[in-house]
């Protein structure tokens, strides 16, 4: 079951005194695909870490499914910018890891992992080690691992930033397909306006530091989305309005930095 996410008047100050987020409030409906867009250093990743319960908020409340966010409590998955695979384990064992932590028997966890790998088109590479795979394949493994627990919330922190454009677009489509099957609440951090519009139902534009919400733009395009959508005028229109919202945020960040 997908979960709602609610951030109410969040402040986040790190131990070194840096104020990363200020008075951030947002509510995300269960099963929504939301992108988080903004300049570097505006606290996008911090938002994800707060929702995951990996960091506490300094003020305000983070609620997942109506309960305070806490790592290890709700079924949540996280995809990092790097594939973050265990280099010493086979691809199959990497994908099975979340189930093994949940104390599922090895045999059964591996069967499920094989299914998850098949879903990302890597059934034949199950016995390979991460170092033997390309960047795009490693990221597919990482996504398969994230989805194997059928999470209520899927957090993705610029997962495709390091990939070439073609691989990136293909993985965008694969991600949407997988999301469509399980429909978790998805929160996708990205630098790319096109990626944000192509994937999501809603784009949150952040400014900062300290991070705050600049714009909250719905993307009223249905699913499933095909690659040809990128060429349609509606899509371009959405990209334009998101870019326009991003401009003052970028300018603000530039002024802060100089």
Partner 1 sequence: MTGALRARWLVPSGAGIAALVAWEAVVRLRGVPPYILPSPTLIVHTLWINLDSLLVSWWYTVKITFGALLLALAGGVLLACAFALSRWLELALFPFAVALQVTPIVAIAPLILIYVDSTTASLLICAFIVAFFPVLSNTLVGLRSADPNLQDLLTLYGATRWQRLRWLLAPSALPYLIAGLKISGGLALIGAVVAEFAAGAAGRETGLASRILEASFRTEIPKMYAALALVALTGVAIYLASNALSRALLGRWHPSERNRD
How would you classify the pairing of strands 202-207 and 33-37?
A: parallel
Q: Smallest gap, in angstroms, from Cβ of residue 200 to partner 1? A: 22
Among 1, 18, 71, 105, binds partner 1 (CB under 8 A): 71
* Angstrom distances, CA of residue 74 to CA of 60, 133, 145, 216: 20, 31, 16, 26
Determine, following the binding rule CB under 8 A, whether residue 101 of this chain makes contact with partner 1: yes
Burial of 112 (0-12, 13-18, 19+ CB in 10 A): middle
The DSSP string of 23-71 is EEEEEE-TT-EEEEE--TTSSHHHHHHHHHTSS--SEEEEEETTEE--T
Among 32, 46, 149, 200, binds partner 1 (CB under 8 A): 149
Angle of CA points 162, 163, 168, to nearest 5°:
130
Among 98, 136, 159, 207, binds partner 1 (CB under 8 A): 98
Determine, following the binding rule CB under 8 A, whether residue 84 of this chain makes contact with partner 1: yes
Determine, following the binding rule CB under 8 A, whether residue 87 of this chain makes contact with partner 1: yes
31 or 53: CB nearest partner 1: 53
Cα(22)–Cα(199) distance, rounded to whole angstroms? Answer: 27
Among 76, 189, 217, 245, binds partner 1 (CB under 8 A): 76
Determine, following the binding rule CB under 8 A, whether residue 80 of this chain makes contact with partner 1: yes
Subset of 10-49 contacting partner 1 (CB under 8 A) = 49
Q: List contacts with partner 1 (CB under 8 A).
A: 49, 52-54, 71-73, 76-78, 80, 82, 84, 86-89, 97-98, 100-102, 129-131, 149
């Amino acid at each position: 079951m997908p979960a709602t996410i609610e951030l109410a008047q969040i402040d986040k100050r790190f131990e070194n005194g840096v104020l990363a987020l200020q008075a951030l409030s947002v509510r995300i409906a269960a099963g929504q695909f939301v992108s988080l867009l903004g300049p570097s250093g505006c606290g996008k990743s911090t938002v994800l870490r707060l929702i995951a319960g990996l960091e506490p908020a300094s003020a305000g409340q983070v609620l997942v499914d109506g309960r305070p966010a806490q790592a290890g409590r709700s079924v949540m998955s996280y995809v990092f910018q790097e594939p973050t695979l265990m280099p010493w384990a086979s691809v199959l064992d990497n994908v099975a890891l979340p189930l093994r932590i949940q104390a599922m028997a090895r045999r059964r966890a591996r069967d499920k992992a094989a299914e998850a790998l098949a879903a990302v088109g890597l059934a034949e590479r199950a016995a390979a080690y991460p170092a033997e795979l390309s960047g795009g394949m490693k990221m597919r493994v990482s996504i398969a691992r994230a989805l194997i627990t059928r999470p209520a919330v899927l957090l993705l922190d610029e997962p495709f930033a390091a990939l070439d454009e073609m691989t990136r677009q293909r993985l965008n489509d694969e991600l949407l397909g997988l999301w469509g099957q399980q429909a978790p609440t998805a929160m996708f951090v990205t630098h790319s306006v096109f990626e944000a519009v192509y994937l999501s139902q809603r784009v949150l534009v952040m400014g900062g530091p300290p991070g705050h919400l600049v714009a909250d733009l719905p993307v009223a395009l249905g699913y499933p989305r095909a690659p040809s959508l990128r060429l349609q005028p509606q899509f371009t229109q959405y990209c334009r309005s998101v870019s326009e919202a991003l401009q003052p945020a970028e300018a603000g960040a530039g002024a802060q930095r100089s």
